[in-house]
Amino acid sequence: MTTDLPAPPEPSGAVATPLKTSVDVAVIGAGIAGLWVANVLKRRGYSVVVFEKDTVGGVQTFASQGMIHGGQKYTLTGKVEDHAASIAAMPARWQAAFDGCGDVDLTGVAFASDSQVMWPAGGLVAGAAVLAAAKLVNAGTEKLTAATYPEALATKPKFKGPVYELPEKVMDIRSLVLALAKPLTGRIYKGEMTALLPDAQVALRHNGADIVLQAQAVVVTAGLGNEAALKAMRIERQMTQRRPLRQIMVRPVPFALYGHGIVGAPKPRVTVTAQRLNEGEYVWYLGGAVAEAAASMTDNEAIAFAAQELAEMFPQVDWSTRQWATWVGDRAEPYDPDGRLPPGPTLHQRGRVLIAWPAKLTFAPALADQVLAALDQHRLKPYFDTPVLDWPQAGMGAYPWETATWQSL
Ligand SMILES: Cc1cc2nc3c(=O)[nH]c(=O)nc-3n(C[C@H](O)[C@H](O)[C@H](O)COP(=O)(O)OP(=O)(O)OC[C@H]3O[C@@H](n4cnc5c(N)ncnc54)[C@H](O)[C@@H]3O)c2cc1C
């Protein structure tokens, strides 16, 4: 890491484009990482603008299951792995923000659920695996009595449990994005990064028009777009990985469910979250091993597979009469030599450009800590006023189930 920044630079003119402006920090990408970091920097008194090529709320962020993980999900190998240990501190950071006394103001965030459950989802060792995971990492885990099982499990024929409840919230992602976008009103512009220099000069384009920002620092939180940023910085060694998923959506389901179906394997057989459509009707959004296996299937194969999985796990529902859709995408992550989920957020620096990956939505507070530490190391001080640009603002994104093409089995 370099230290001791020179005085804030003047625009160098290295990229020839018509409109130029100066700002303390330019943030590229308006997913959870960019929005969280921009809020924290604004609170520190830096002038900040965010540029987003598509819509506010990002790609992975709006597609996520909105779960704030405390670690249990990552203990299914029977031990506390790096990831489980580092993520365990995150729920308290989020809770402070929900309570209005954290790094960002999340008092406006709504919750799909205040907790998640773990239940045995088939196989002889599933019950033992649920118990083992429940004992690790998070002290607040509670065994539910049959009378308090979620309806999806209470109505399951011959289901014996055990079911554990984790005090880990599931957020309504749209309300999260709105809460983070509000303090940045007028500062989230529409534009795709087209050039990036280590002296924190960044060029952006929208509708054929170009703008160049000379910043004191650029923070690139562009998800998959981080790959292009690394290329622009001429960083050749492998620093990123993509892990594909095909999330499954099914509607209408008569009850909600938030949690992980455990089978004694390192990954849950299924991770279910839900969004209310109408009274007594939900859309279920399925991740976990179902979505990972479905990544290499066609849409039709994936839906047939998911329908079979659900029929086994929840035989009380007639899945043949539902509507189905999928969301296909990549988890954009820092490189892990074994291709696994990296243990925590990662920041790569080249000059005054910081390229950042949260690795999980849950890690957004820890990622912002790393960004602040890097700027402090550079002794970066607020200098420029916030520019008011004659440039369009980016619009709000949507949930996968709001834009999906639905089909029957
Ligand atoms: C299906 C799924 C479920 C998940 N569930 C959870 C969960 O329950 N809990 C959890 O903690 N984590 C979860 N995750 C992981 C989590 O969603 C991601 O780690 C996190 O959202 C990444 O945020 P981000 O801001 O880095 O990226 P993104 O949300 O992808 O945002 C990046 C933004 O950068 C923009 N961009 C890209 N290139 C450019 C460019 N050149 N110029 C300008 N803008 C650009 C993109 O348009 C996008 O808006 C899930 C991920 C997936 C895919």
Q: What is the pLDDT of residues 215-273, one digit of tens each?
A: 999 999 999 999 999 999 998 889 999 999 999 999 999 999 999 999 988 889 999 99
Average pLDDT taken over every residue of the chain: 91
Q: Tell me which residue has tokens 């924290």.
A: 40
Residue 363 has pLDDT above 50, yes or no: yes
Which pLDDT band holds residue 2 (cuts at 50, 70, 90)? very low
Residue with CA at minimum distance from ligand 1 atom 2: 64
Q: Which ligand 1 atom is nearest residue 61's CA?
A: 21
Mean pLDDT over 371-389 rounds to 96
Q: Residue 47 is which amino acid?
A: S
Residues 6+ apart with CB under 8 A from 381: none
Of 101-105, 130-134, 141-145, 363-367, where does mean pLDDT reach its minimum? 130-134
**Distances, alpha carbon 69 to alpha carbons 117, 288, 330, 350, in Å:** 12, 14, 19, 31
| Ligand 1 pocket member 226 (CB < 6 A) | no
Q: What does the alpha-carbon distance between residue 20 and residue 388 come to, in Å, rounded to a whole number? A: 12
Strand ranges inside 304-391, DSSP E: 323-334, 346-350, 353-357
Ligand 1 centroid vs 333 CA: distance in angstroms?
A: 9
At 362 the pLDDT is: 96
| Ligand 1 pocket member 177 (CB < 6 A) | no
Beta bridge pairs of residue 405: none
Residues 6+ apart with CB under 8 A from 98: 106, 107, 109, 169
Q: What does the alpha-carbon distance between residue 288 and residue 282 come to, in Å, rounded to a whole number? A: 19
Helix (H), strand (E) at residue 214 = strand 209-220
Residue 77 has pLDDT above 80, yes or no: no
Residue 76 has pLDDT above 90, yes or no: no
| Ligand 1 pocket member 51 (CB < 6 A) | yes
| Ligand 1 pocket member 313 (CB < 6 A) | no
Instruction: Judge contact between 38 and 47, C-beta under 8 A.
Output: no
Q: Residue 211 is which amino acid?
A: I
Residues 6+ apart with CB under 8 A from 58: 29, 30, 31, 32, 33, 34, 52, 223, 397
At 3 the pLDDT is: 33
What share of the chain in percent tops pLDDT 70? 91
Which token pair is 58?
């990002």
Burial of 276 (0-12, 13-18, 19+ CB in 10 A): exposed
Instruction: Judge contact between 380 and 24, C-beta under 8 A.
Output: yes
DSSP state, 380? Answer: -
| Ligand 1 pocket member 285 (CB < 6 A) | no
Residues 6+ apart with CB under 8 A from 117: 144, 150, 153, 163, 164, 165, 166, 257, 258, 259, 260
Which pLDDT band holds residue 127 (cuts at 50, 70, 90)? confident
At 138 the pLDDT is: 59
| Ligand 1 pocket member 358 (CB < 6 A) | yes
Which token pair is 184?
């940045």
Which token pair is 269?
């057989």
For residue 380, give the nearest of 356, 355, 354 by alpha carbon.
354
Strand ranges inside 38-169, DSSP E: 48-52, 55-56, 111-113, 116-120, 142-143, 164-166
Rounded to 10 deg, the angle between the 90-98 and 364-377 helix axes is: 90
